[in-house]
A and B are shown apart, each in its own frame.
Chain A
Amino acid sequence: MDIAVTKKKLGLKERYALMTRGLGWEPTYQSVDDVFPMDSFEGIKIHDWDAWEDPFRLTMDAYWKYQAEKERKLYAILDAFAQGNGHLTLSDARYINTVKLFINGLAPLEYMSHRGFAHIGRQFRGVGPRVACMMQSLDEMRHAQTQVHAISNYNRYYDGMANFRHHHTYLPYLQVPRSFFEDAASGGPFEFITAIGFAFEYVLTNLVFVPFISGAAYNGDMGAMTFGFSAQSDEARHMTLGLEVIKFMLEQDPDNLPIVQKWLNKWTWRGVRVLTLVAMMQDYMLPKRVMSWAEAWEIYFEENCGALFRDLARYGIVMPPCVEQVRKERDHLSHMAWCQFYQARGTNNFHVWLPSKEDMDWLSAKYPETFDQYYRPRFEYWAKMEEEGTPFEAATPPQQCQVCQIPTIFPVAGDPLTRAEHSCTHDGERFHFCSQWCQEIFEDEPEKYVQAKLGAHELYKGNLFGDADPTAEDFDPMAAAMAFLKLTPEDSGLHSDSRDAANFDLWRGLAKANEA
C-alpha cells in the first residue's frame, strides 16, 4: 500500500507521531506482559512508555532517504579508492596495522550490535524506543557490511585480515572487545542498551571513531576515513538514544536509580578497558598522529562525560568510582599495552615495532610524568636486543582477567612498579582479575563470568588444538594451536621483517617509476 502524499507538508513533530506512535497497537488476545516478557525481569519499573521522547524524531521514510544518500557517497569513494590503488597513498605501511585492528576488533562488534538491537527492538513494549532500536539495528548491519567491504580492499594485498571472524572469536587479544559485547548481549534489554548506548556509543565511539578516523584522514586512508565518517554519522543518533533511555529509566521510578548506577559503574569500567586498544593505536600505531590518548581522554571523557554526569546528578547519579583509577592510569595505558603486544607478537595478527627516537620524543612531550621514567628505558633496552640479533619475546601467554579478559598487566593505581593482583574463590575455584572493579563485576554475577573462555587458559587446558592428536608421538602443541587459530607466520611478528612491509615498498616503488 502506498502512503498518500498530501500537498501540505506535516510538521516534524506531527509526522513523527503518525509514523512512529501511530504504528503501534494494543494486543487483544494476548496480555501485554506475555507479548513483551523480557522488559521487566531486570527490575526496571516503567509506568508510562508514552513519556518516551525521541529527540531526532526520525521517521522510517526519512531514515531510508538519508541512509541511501550516505551509502551512495561511501561507495563512490570506495570505488575510487580501489580503482586508484588507494592503499599506496598511505603515509607508511605501518598504518595498515590500525586497519587490521579495526576489522578484527571492531567490525564484528558492529554485527553483534545489529543482533542485539534487533533483539531489544522486539522486547521493549514502548513503540518509540522500538522504532529507534530497529533503526539502530539496521545501522549496525550497515556498519559491519561497509567496514568489511572497505577493508576487503586491503585484504587483497596484506596479511592479518583474511580470518577476522575466526580471529575475533579465538585470538586472546580480541577476546577483550568480544567479551565486552557478549557480556552486554547476554544481559537484559535495559542493561544492553545502557551498555551499548552509554558505554559503547557515548564513551567509546567518540574515542574510537573521531581520533581513529581523523587519524585515517591524516595518514592518507580515504577508504577508512569514509566508512568511519559514514558509520559515525549514525552514532550521533545512537548515543542520543542511549542517553534518552538512561534519563527515561531515571525519570520513571526512583527505584531504578541504584540499578542504573550499578550499570553505569560497570559499563564505564568495561568500556575503558576496551579503550586500552584504542589508546595504544593512537599513541603507537598511527605513523602521523592526530592527538595523544591523554588528550583525547581529556576532551571526550573528562569534558564530555563530565557534562553528562553533572546533568544526571539531578537524579542522584554520581560519577563511577572507577574513574579515579582511570585517571591514574591515563598516562600509562598506551605504553603498557604496546609493551604487552610487542612481547606477545607471536600471537597477534598484526605487526609491531619499537618506537623510533623521534616517536619517543613525541611520547615524552605528551607524557612528561611517565614516559621517560618508566617506558623509554625499556624500549631502548629492547632496541639494543633487536640490534644484537636477540630480540626479546615473551615465551608464555599471560594470565587474563576473568572479566575484561585483558592480561593482568596493570600496576596498582598510583604505584606503577607494583603489579595489581586481585583474585577470589568461587565454588572452590580461584579466579583472577586485573582490578578491584572487574572483581566487583564478577562477584555481582559469578555464574555468568565463570563461563568465560580465556584464550591463554584454553590453550593450557588443551582446547585449542583442533583435530590434532595430543597423544601422537610427534605432537607439537604450539604448531597445533597456531593451525587451529589460523595464524600464519606472515600475520604476526615484527613489522620490519614482514611481507607487508616488503610488498608495500615494492609496489609503491613500482607506482612511482617506470620499469626499466
Chain B
Amino acid sequence: MSEVKSTVFLCLQANDETRGVIEAIERDNEHASFDYQPGMVRITAPGTLTVRRETVEEEVGREFDLQELHINMISLSGHVDEDDDALVLSWDR
C-alpha cells in the first residue's frame, strides 16, 4: 500500500434502531470518528472499521443478526468482509 492511509466509512440512519449499533461501534473502534448530519451519522476510520455482533447485542439487549444492518445502512466504503460475528470494512486485504 502507498503511504497515504485510506479511510473507510459507514453511514447509518440516525434512529432508534441504530442507537445501540452506533454505541457498539464506538466501543469497538477507538480510532473512529462520528459526524452527525441531518438524519444520519457518518462514521469514518483510518484503515478498518469493525461492527461486532456481541457488542451490538450487549448494547441493544437482544439477539442481533448483523444483516439487520442492511435496513438502516446508507453507504459505506472499503472492502466488506462479513460473517456471523463481525462486519469488517477495510482497504487492507
Contact = CB atoms under 8 A, between A and B. Distances in A.
B30 interface: no
B37 A304 contact: no
A233 B74 contact: yes
B6 interface: yes
Interface string B49-93: 000000000000000000110111111111111111000000100
Contacts of A215: 38
B81 A55 contact: yes
| Chain B contact patch, size range | 20 to 34
A290 interface: yes
A510 B19 CA distance: 38
Interface in A63-114: 66, 69-70, 73
B38 A311 contact: no
B62 to A, nearest CB: 16
A311 B4 CA distance: 11
Given A62-B67, A290-B38, A206 B75 contact: yes
Contacts of B4: 306, 310
Contacts of B9: 304
Nearest to B35: A299
B74 A55 contact: no
A236 B73 contact: yes
A308 B77 contact: yes
Given A210-B11, A214-B37, A307-B91, A66 B68 contact: yes
Nearest to A314: B1
A17 B79 CA distance: 20
B80 A311 contact: no
Nearest to A303: B7
| Chain A contact patch, size range | 35 or more
Interface in A214-241: 214-215, 217-218, 225, 229, 232-233, 235-237, 239-240
A428 interface: no
Contacts of A307: 6-8, 77-78, 91
Given A66-B67, A209-B75, A308-B77, A290 B82 contact: no
B22 interface: no
A477 B41 CA distance: 52
Contact of B91 (A70, A206, A225, A311): A311
A38 interface: no
A310 B2 contact: yes
A57 B76 CA distance: 16
A414 to B, nearest CB: 25
A311 B76 contact: no
A310 B73 contact: no
B39 A13 contact: no
A56 B80 CA distance: 7
Contacts of A236: 70, 73-76
B71 to A, nearest CB: 5
A485 interface: no
B48 interface: no
List the 8 closest pairs (A to B, CB-CB), nearest first. A307-B6, A217-B39, A55-B80, A217-B38, A218-B38, A232-B74, A236-B73, A214-B38
22 contacts: A56-B70, A62-B67, A66-B68, A213-B39, A213-B40, A214-B38, A217-B38, A217-B39, A218-B38, A229-B13, A229-B72, A233-B70, A233-B71, A235-B74, A237-B70, A240-B80, A307-B6, A307-B78, A308-B77, A311-B79, A311-B91, A313-B2
